[in-house]
Amino acid sequence: MVLALCWTSVVPTGSVSAQQAYQVELDAERVVRFTSRAAIEEFDGVTNRIDGFVAINTATLTAETGGDDTEFFFEVDLASIDTGIGLRNRHMQKNYLEVEDYPYAAFGGRIARAAPLSNGVFRVTVQGTLGIHGVERERSVTCDLSPIGDGYRVQCAFQVLLTDHEIEVPKVMFLKLNNEIQLELDFRIEPAEDTK
């Protein structure tokens, strides 16, 4: 099924090309949350500092293919992550994420496909390079995009293995982390300024 019609409904008319760019809406609520479930304790870290863009080629995006000319890039400011305990934040930033050398986590690539769900929601699969702690991995991630205003609410959930990014798994008390970290993202994208 070709989704062009659905996407076109939110694209301003008169565009020269079919590509529409969206950017993270900084004024809306943004949540990036990681959760670690270790044997004794579970804790999470939260930040709102995510920014990035997605460029969609509305003419060729389908449930089977992302089509041509699509691109996305998002990054998260790691020194802003708050685990609720100041000392733990500092340990995490300095000894594990090493934010002075690797201040951002970034994910960039292209859209693989976009399948329509009910109520105008799309399940979008993206493929790209996830860079954390200076180590990059090819990843495929699925996000739900719900229309809101002239943009979308983006919700994603996926897992990251610390060892995949050469992050030492902390073993000291009070910072017991599972190697498998759950990541949840929830933010809005709006038409990019240059295409508004």
Residues at the contact surface with another protein, assessed by CB under 8 A: 21, 26, 49, 51-53, 55, 71, 73, 75, 77, 79-80, 84-91, 93-95, 99-100, 102-104, 106, 108, 129, 131, 134-136, 166, 172-175
Which two structure tokens, joined as six digits, stand for 38?
Answer: 């270790």
Please say which residue, 97 or 156, places its beta carbon nearer to another protein. Answer: 97
Q: How far apart are CA 8 and CA 10, in angstroms?
A: 5
| Neighbour count for residue 150 (Cβ, 10 Å) | 12
Which two structure tokens, joined as six digits, stand for 90?
Answer: 């500092």
Please say which residue, 37 or 94, places its beta carbon nearer to another protein. Answer: 94
Shortest separation between residue 107's beta carbon and another protein, angstroms: 8
Please say which residue, 102 or 158, places its beta carbon nearer to another protein. Answer: 102
Contact at 8 Å (CB) between 20 and 60? no
Shortest separation between residue 49's beta carbon and another protein, angstroms: 6
| Residue 77, beta-bridge partner list | 104
Q: How far apart are CA 27 and CA 41, in angstroms?
A: 33
Please say which residue, 136 or 144, places its beta carbon nearer to another protein. Answer: 136
